[in-house]
Amino acid sequence: MLPESVYKKLTEPESVALVGVTSRTGLGSNSPLEVLLKQGYRGRVYPVNPKGGEILGQLVYTSLLDVPEIPDLAVICAPRDAVIELFSQCAAKGVKIVIITAQGFFDGDEKGRFMQHELSELAAKNDIRVLGPNTLGIINNYHNFCTSFMDFVNPVKPIGITCQTGTFYLGASQICTGAGIIVDSGNTTDISVTDVIGHLARDPRLKVINIHMESLRDGVRFIEAARDAVVLKPVIIYKTGVSPAGSLAASSHTGSLAGEDRVFDAAFKQCGLLRAVDTEEIGDLNKVFCTFSGINGNRIGIISISGGAGVWTVDACTRFGLEIATLSQSTLEQMGELFPDWAHCANPMDIWPASMSQGYQYCFRRALEAYMEDPGIDAVICMTGSFLALDGDFLDVTGIIRDVAGRYPEKPVTVTSWGCNYRHYEEEVEKDNTVVYYISVDRAARALAALYKYHHQIKNKKRGPVILPAHPGQSEAAGILAGKTGNLSQADALSLLESYGIATARWGQARDLAEATALAARIGYPVTMKILSEDIIHKSDVGGVRLNIRNARELEEAFTAMHTEIAKKQPGARLDGVIIQEHLTRGIELLVGSKKDPTFGPVLAFGAGGVFTEILNDVSLRVPPLSKKEIKTMIEETKISKILAGARGTAAVDMELLIDCLAGLSQLLLANPAISEIDLNPLLACADRVAALDARVILGNK
Amino acid sequence: MLPESVYKKLTEPESVALVGVTSRTGLGSNSPLEVLLKQGYRGRVYPVNPKGGEILGQLVYTSLLDVPEIPDLAVICAPRDAVIELFSQCAAKGVKIVIITAQGFFDGDEKGRFMQHELSELAAKNDIRVLGPNTLGIINNYHNFCTSFMDFVNPVKPIGITCQTGTFYLGASQICTGAGIIVDSGNTTDISVTDVIGHLARDPRLKVINIHMESLRDGVRFIEAARDAVVLKPVIIYKTGVSPAGSLAASSHTGSLAGEDRVFDAAFKQCGLLRAVDTEEIGDLNKVFCTFSGINGNRIGIISISGGAGVWTVDACTRFGLEIATLSQSTLEQMGELFPDWAHCANPMDIWPASMSQGYQYCFRRALEAYMEDPGIDAVICMTGSFLALDGDFLDVTGIIRDVAGRYPEKPVTVTSWGCNYRHYEEEVEKDNTVVYYISVDRAARALAALYKYHHQIKNKKRGPVILPAHPGQSEAAGILAGKTGNLSQADALSLLESYGIATARWGQARDLAEATALAARIGYPVTMKILSEDIIHKSDVGGVRLNIRNARELEEAFTAMHTEIAKKQPGARLDGVIIQEHLTRGIELLVGSKKDPTFGPVLAFGAGGVFTEILNDVSLRVPPLSKKEIKTMIEETKISKILAGARGTAAVDMELLIDCLAGLSQLLLANPAISEIDLNPLLACADRVAALDARVILGNK
């Protein structure tokens, strides 16, 4: 998190220098000075341009050094080739926070990347914090402060935003419905979402945070910052550069390489971020969070102008995991009176049959009032018609909804209407900011589901940093890893797992047949035998793996046959004996492993093993450190977990053992950054045992 | 399909009687007469009301019998208790087409259902076709004809619609963007989507068809009608009552029971319908189909106001299966000139760096012109900004887009804009009906993907009815089934499969150990032995199944042990000997089966077998009859198909054999409607063989 003083000077400076500001003004001039004055900024502004003179009545300084104070913030608004020179002026002047708007650095060519490095060095040497380059900078609507060179329309909304593109910044009025504070970090060479999000979360004026993310440098720090923020406020994230093609486009846009999207997705889930699938979802969720401060549960009441529309509202609720409320006796009695004998009175409530004799508006009011008083209903979706000519719309219930809903702020109400006048309805119904309009019931249901999720599954969940004591096996693990590079031998790999308490199938090494026979007797038949040799990489290909050996006679046969085949297929290979291992067949094959992600470091993977790993992609991911509770959730996300829980009458797997195994691996990874990849291939799990049969461990450079 | 004359009288009658019309007029009167007159209907209108007199200057007949001609169409607009009496009048008068608007029949109580049956009998006896009840009837915007009692706003659009709720009918201006012809079938007791869709498909004024479906009576007839229609026109379907709760709500709405949604989904896919996930998708797809008559491929050019927005457009294209076009040398050269040295010029094209010196509008025009001439681009998504104040919007490119796109009608162009003025942009850019606006690039990509799918994967695909010659095994199959009910014995079940050429593991029946031993020797070890007994339902539970018997000695042991265990666990069970079966272990376990659906009849299922069936739900469904090509597609829809194709180095399964097996089963089901359920459990498939190991066949009432 940025120091408070830096954040304050960045977002509500008392003085700002616009360094290299254009002297042009008026339509299309792209003058940030003009925008700032128009916005009504009340701090001190220092335009700097070598030509001097005046712009819009403001004295222009020919050099930043001439400015009569050290401004809180400098915005360098010149094209890239002038930036280093101007940045040096900032350093000389003693400015500590600089925004660079120009494009063409990491997002440009070789020269741009070179200049970027130069800037970073200058910044470090002079202790300057940088926002950008390739950014429009800051909007603080509470302070009439804005560093954009475009004079755009942006209504005040209690939303804090960080983004990596000007489109998001300028389009916030549409994408996000408006904004309170926006920080565009552009290429994000220094100040990033991670530095800012905690401040947005602590700003009492803001109700929700939006993140537009294209790339991320330090995933682990981001996770910490996000975990901290979601306890205070709902955080919606829109991650772009998701597809391989999009990721490529992103890398040429902000000059950074995006990691795998599914790792980002896992990390977002882990910290309780609400991920928006597209730009419309951001706006939809903002509306619901800005309007309602909570929701008591997920039981939805539906009031509809027709039976058909009630049906599709039920579908929408079910699609997003909401429940259809059961009406109380009192609601049924009150409303039942209004209906003709033949009609159903239930939830969803199609009020049309009642309206034919009682009038639509009267019935709507009665239904909404009954629903608001019904303790079994947590929120209401209204479906009405906006298909009549506006001047004779005797079905208009927007005022009724505003009136009734306004009296029950703890019970969210959304409205969807059908017919040409829907935009007018939207405006009317949202007038008092007590009700939210959605153009479809699916979007209403999605937003209410997010509201429920945040207040009941995210906000209250303990997400503090997971701090685990050092594992007692670490010195043993360190010993095994010492001096090693590349692939570990299988014996080392298995020992490494055991050092962190990860069970393996019983095994041992034998130098010759006699030792192997004795070892097999100790381990107990059936056993598996594998050749030990640094020269042989693919053991199976040369006959170096023999499964299901049932007795000493078979062991001898297998030992001889194995050595004969190897002698033929890879003559001259140095042989160091064999591994004898308990031959396990019981149990469910699982995939457990880890790979280093460029953004998040080691990422733990769990899922279905064997042939189904690749085909089904039934894998869940997490970024360590992990609590046991989080590991349990991770397991439960997979489809294979249903089998582990004992589907189809088979005994359930011992979940404690499995969780311990993943917890051990997670600690092993964190304590030993040399491990770049690890695979337990497979891990067998059954009712009373979890055991790794094989392990592949690859070490990278420390 | 309705006879041409009936469809014509229903949708553009020369004369219409409004039977039981209200004498009230004006705001809120719900008078269909008033609506009809206001719409400017030019046919002859006969209001009928026992009170007689005049309404809105029209002579009112006290009885339909007094009307001076037999009208083409009668609309009964009275409440339900008057309907039967008025319907009898229609019959007496000789009217052959009647619309019933009242609610409270199948959608109401017991009395309503009784009246509905009475109506149906009356209709059959008098050869009357009925639309409704519980319907608003017809809209024909080309004929100024409308039977609604609500005077709603509904712009003319070349869209043919059938629906089952008035909400869809009245809201068409929003849900569908407008309409040409609408048929609301309400409770759908007689005339249904199946009767109408072929007429809509053949109407040269219409460009696209929308179906809102809540329930369906005869699935097989619908499939035929839909197959016929999609060759002529794109058909978008919005099926509601999808969730169990929604299905329940639907059944109380139109009084019919909805089948399983995944069966509907399979049937829709099979006939080439475009299924909309929500109401917004209907409108989005209508726009694209009404504006563009084709698309040459799926290579998308992207022109964007910023790099960031380009990234998320690429994501959107990838999400919906579109490709990012590679720019031609000519485009690169033309555009490259406009860009500063450091900037990338590629697709997606972020024109901002070029705009800084050349002007945004100029660059946008140049880019769009180059894209329209580029033979490697099939469609263009434009992303622009609408964030400036309207009166000084020097970035407005809506006119430029209209101008350039209008010259290249064969290359679809969509526009998305960011910022507060997006609605103004939408209106501006769509002015000439040559360009389509979408509020997000995701929705643009989804619509273009549907356009591509229709023109390249649906329209040209041969979907004629699949007519297969009778299978030579039918007489044998009929013999096996003759006189049977309930569960078939395993021997009968296996024989039944074989009669239709479906391979099974080699098997035979034996009455005693001697026969069993001889049989096993013929079949070849290892074998499986199963008890034969009508009294024993769960063979495994009483030890009645013995697997992997490797020789005669083991067979004898197993035979004895089996009989001993059964004698203990189910003493007195009548035993009829044993089945000896080849013990197969090689191969991939598959699920193949069928169940009767209330709407579509027998539905064929194919997918992953064994423990993964329930967990992964990796199953694809089809409604027979099926061509071999369709069966191939069906198999390829599953994840397990990747394993069948030889993933992970294993030999590929013989696809011909597998397809033959499914084709045989499909024919067996069609020819023998007595089969209500069948399960090949499992079917084993490997490189050179496909064999059913077990089969469960349940017969229902014929």
pLDDT digit string, tens, across residues A502-526: 999 999 999 999 999 999 999 999 9
Nearest to A133 by CA among A146, A151, A152, A147: A147
Residue % of chain A over a pLDDT of 90:
84
Residue with token string 């485009």: B331
Q: Which residues of A touch B108 (CB under 8 A)?
A: 342-343
Residues from chain A that touch B315, judged by Cβ atoms under 8 A, are: 240-243, 246
What pLDDT, on a 0 to 100 scale, did the predictor assign at position A536?
87
CB contact under 8 A, B153 and A419: yes
Selected for mutation to probe chain B from A77, A161, A312 (highest B CB count within 10 Å) is A312
In whole angstroms, what is the distance from residue B495 CA to residue B480 CA?
Answer: 8
**Would you state the pLDDT for residue B64?**
98
Task: Report the distance separating Cα A595 and Cα A601, nearest Å.
Answer: 8
Q: What is the pLDDT of residue A167?
A: 92
Please indicate whether residue B587 or residue B600 has the higher confidence score (pLDDT). B600
Chain B residues near residue A305 by CB distance under 8 angstroms: 167
- C-alpha span between A310 and B107 (Å, rounded): 14
Q: Find residue A691's DSSP bridge partners.
A: A684
The arithmetic mean of pLDDT across residues B161-165, rounded, is 96
Give chain B's mean pLDDT. Answer: 93
B642 or A462, which is more confident: B642
- Residue A611 above 70 pLDDT? no
The string of pLDDT tens digits covering residues B92-119 is: 999 999 999 999 999 899 999 999 999 9
- The position carrying tokens 């990849």 is A677
The helix (H) or strand (E) run that includes residue B194 is helix B193-202
pLDDT 10s digits, B443-452: 999 999 999 9
What does the pLDDT read at residue B243? 75
A312 touches chain B (CB under 8 A): yes
CB atoms within 10 A of CB B14: 13
Q: What is the mean pLDDT of residues B204-215?
A: 97
With beta carbons less than 8 A apart as the criterion, state whether A1 and A199 touch: yes
Taking CB atoms and an 8 Å limit, are B614 and A164 in contact across chains? no
**Cβ within 8 Å, pair A108-B246:** no
Residue-level pLDDT at B702? 44
Helix H or strand E encompassing A605: strand A601-608
Question: Worst-scoring range by mean pLDDT, A127-141, A386-400, A612-626, B75-89?
Answer: A612-626
- The mean per-residue pLDDT over the stretch B251-274 comes to 80
**Which amino acid type is present at position B551?**
N
The pLDDT of residue A702: 44
Return the pLDDT at A613.
Answer: 72
d(CA B514, CA B497): 28
Average pLDDT of the segment spanning A13-36: 95
Residues A80, B342: C-beta atoms closer than 8 Å: yes
| Contact criterion met (CB below 8 Å) for A9 and A40 | no
pLDDT at residue A624, as a whole number: 93
Q: Is A438 helix (H, G, I), strand (E, B) or coil?
A: coil
Instruction: Give the span between the Cα atoms of A300 and A378, in whole angstroms.
Output: 6
What pLDDT does residue B378 have?
98
A146-201 pLDDT, tens digit per residue, is 999 999 999 999 999 999 999 999 999 999 999 999 999 999 999 999 999 999 99
Mean pLDDT within A101-130: 95
CA dist., res. A268 & res. A622, Å (int): 10
**Which of A81, A75, A114 shows the shortest CA–CA distance to A98?**
A75
* For residues B142-153, average pLDDT: 95
Which of A113, A134, A167 is best to mutate for the B interface (most B CBs within 10 A)?
A167
In chain B, % of residues over pLDDT 70: 97
Q: Does A56 touch chain B (CB under 8 A)?
A: no
B173 touches A: beta carbon within 8 Å: yes
With CB atoms and an 8 Å threshold, state whether A647 touches B254: no
B651 pLDDT tier (thresholds 50, 70, 90): confident
Mean pLDDT over A447-467 rounds to 89
Please tell me if residue A241 touches chain B, with a CB cutoff of 8 Å. yes
pLDDT of residue B251: 66
pLDDT level of residue A670 (50, 70, 90 thresholds): very high
Tell if the CB–CB gap between A175 and B418 is shorter than 8 Å: yes
Q: Which domains does chain B have, with CATH numbers?
A: 1-133 (3.40.50.720), 152-291 (3.40.50.261), 297-457 (3.40.50.261), 506-582 (3.30.1490.20), 588-699 (3.30.470.20)
Mean pLDDT of B618-642: 92
Share above pLDDT 70 across residues of chain A, in percent, rounded to a whole number: 97
Q: How many Cα neighbours within 13 Å face the side chain of A446? A: 21
pTM of the shown model: 0.94
Nearest Cα of chain A lies from the Cα of B113 at a distance, in angstroms, of: 10
Give the integer Cα–Cα distance in Å for B157 and B206: 8
Render pLDDT for A638-663 as a digit per residue (tens, 0 to 9): 988 988 888 656 678 999 999 999 99
pLDDT, residue B287, reads: 97
Does the CB of A469 have a partner CB in chain B at under 8 Å? no
Residue of B nearest to A253 (CA): B307
B324 vs A: CB within 8 A: yes
Instruction: List, in sequence order, every beta strand (DSSP E) within A94-201.
Output: 97-100, 129-131, 138-140, 145-146, 156-163, 179-184
Nearest to B241 among A315, A344, A647 (CB): A315
Q: For the residues B646-652, what does the mean pLDDT come to?
A: 72
Residue B392 near chain A (CB below 8 Å): yes
Residue A254 pLDDT more than 70?
no
* Mean pLDDT value of segment A532-553: 89
Mean pLDDT of A409-438: 97
Residues 257-286 of A with CB under 8 A from B: 277-280
Assigned token pair, B16: 């219409």
Question: What is the pLDDT averaged over residues A303-315?
Answer: 95
Once rounded to an integer, what is the mean pLDDT over residues A463-492? 89
Would you state the pLDDT for residue A537?
78
- Per-residue confidence (pLDDT) for residue A612, from 0 to 100: 67
* B540-583 confidence digits (pLDDT tens): 889 999 999 999 999 999 999 999 999 999 999 999 999 999 99
- Of A559-563, B249-253, B331-335, B385-389, give the lowest mean pLDDT range: B249-253
Residue B410 near residue B432, CB atoms below 8 Å: no
pLDDT band at residue A682 using 50, 70 and 90 as cut-offs: confident
Q: Region A551-563: what's the mean pLDDT? A: 95
Lowest-confidence pick of A484-488, B290-294, B611-615, B683-687: B611-615
**Whole-number Å distance between alpha carbons of A569 and A542:** 6
Phi, psi at residue B314, to the nearest 5°? Answer: -60, -45
Q: What's the confidence (pLDDT) of residue A631? A: 95
What is chain A's mean pLDDT, rounded?
A: 93
